[in-house]
Amino acid sequence: MKIISVVGARPNFMKIAPFIKAIKKHNNNHQENEVEHILVHTGQHYDDKMSKAFFKELNIPDADINLGIGSGSHAEQVGNTMIAFEKVLRDEKPDWVVVVGDVNATLSCSVTAKKEHIKVCHIEAGLRSGDMQMPEEINRLVTDRLSDLLLTPDTMSIENLRNEGTAEERIKFVGNIMIDTLENNRDKASKLGIPDVLADNLLNFRSFNLQAVENIFALLTMHRPSNVDKKEVFEPLIRFLLDEVTRDMYLIWPIHPRAQKQLKDFGLWDDVMKNDKMILLHPIGYHAMLRLNMSAKVILTDSGGLQEESTVLGTPCLTLRWNTERPVTLREYGGASVLVGNNVERIRKEYNEVLKLERKKTRPPLWDGNTAERCLREILAYFKI
Ligand code: UD1
Same domain, 11 and 68: yes
Res. 92: pLDDT tops 90: yes
Neighbours of 36 (CB within 10 A): 13
H or E element, residue 158: helix 155-163
**Average pLDDT over all residues of the chain:** 96
Which residue has a Cα nearest atom 15 of ligand 1?
A: 103
Nearest atom in ligand 1 to the alpha carbon of residue 106 is 15
Residue range 266-275, pLDDT digits in tens: 999 999 999 9
Nearest atom in ligand 1 to the alpha carbon of residue 72 is 35
End-to-end CA gap in the chain = 16
* Residue 164 CB less than 6 A away from ligand 1: no
pTM for the structure as a whole: 0.96
Which residue has a Cα nearest atom 6 of ligand 1?
A: 10
Instruction: Tell how far the Cα of 265 is from the centroid of ligand 1, in angstroms.
Output: 17
The answer to whether position 67 is within a domain reads: yes
The answer to whether position 360 is within a domain reads: no
pLDDT of residue 134: 95
Same domain, 317 and 251: yes
Same domain, 348 and 380: no
The answer to whether position 74 is within a domain reads: yes
pLDDT of residue 212: 87
Same domain, 254 and 380: no
Round to whole Å and give the CA distance between 79 and 180. Answer: 32
Tell me the β-bridge partners of 289.
none
Same domain, 162 and 246: no
Q: Mean pLDDT across the stretch 195-215?
A: 87
According to DSSP, residue 255 is labeled: P
The answer to whether position 230 is within a domain reads: yes
Same domain, 225 and 112: no
Which residue has a Cα nearest atom 21 of ligand 1?
A: 45
Among candidate residues 155, 157, 132, 156, the one with its CA nearest the CA of residue 147 = 157
Same domain, 202 and 138: no
* Residue 166 CB less than 6 A away from ligand 1: no
Among candidate residues 297, 107, 316, the one with its CA nearest the CA of residue 306 = 316
Q: Mean pLDDT across the stretch 293-314?
A: 97
pLDDT of residue 211: 85
Which residue has a Cα nearest atom 2 of ligand 1?
A: 103
pLDDT of residue 225: 95
pLDDT of residue 207: 77
pLDDT band at 26 (very low <50, low <70, confident <90, very high): very high
Q: Mean pLDDT across the stretch 190-195?
A: 96
Res. 385: pLDDT tops 60: no
Which CATH number covers residue 281? 3.40.50.2000
Q: Mean pLDDT across the stretch 142-159?
A: 98
Cα–Cα–Cα angle for 321, 223, 228, rounded to 5 degrees: 80
Same domain, 316 and 375: no
The parent domain of residue 20 ranges over: 2-176+367-384
Q: Enumerate the H helices of 192-296 as residue ranges.
A: 194-201, 210-215, 225-228, 231-240, 246-248, 257-265, 269-274, 286-295
The answer to whether position 57 is within a domain reads: yes
Domain total of the chain: 2
Res. 362: pLDDT tops 70: yes
pLDDT of residue 49: 94
Res. 206: pLDDT tops 80: no
Round to whole Å and give the CA distance between 376 and 385. Answer: 15
Same domain, 321 and 200: yes
**Candidate from 44, 99, 303 with most ligand 1 atoms within 8 A of CB, to mutate:** 44
Residue range 102-144, pLDDT digits in tens: 999 999 999 999 999 999 999 999 999 999 999 999 999 999 9
The answer to whether position 361 is within a domain reads: no
The answer to whether position 359 is within a domain reads: no
Same domain, 258 and 193: yes
Instruction: Tell how far the Cα of 261 is from the centroid of ligand 1, in angstroms.
Output: 12
Residues 291 and 214 sit within 8 Å (Cβ to Cβ): no
The answer to whether position 343 is within a domain reads: yes
CA distances in angstroms from 281 to 194, 233, 358, listed in the order given: 13, 22, 26
Residue range 50-61, pLDDT digits in tens: 999 999 999 999
Same domain, 281 and 198: yes
| Three-state secondary structure call for residue 384 | helix
pLDDT of residue 124: 98
Same domain, 232 and 171: no
Q: Residues with Cβ < 8 Å from 183, sequence gap 6 or more?
A: 368, 369
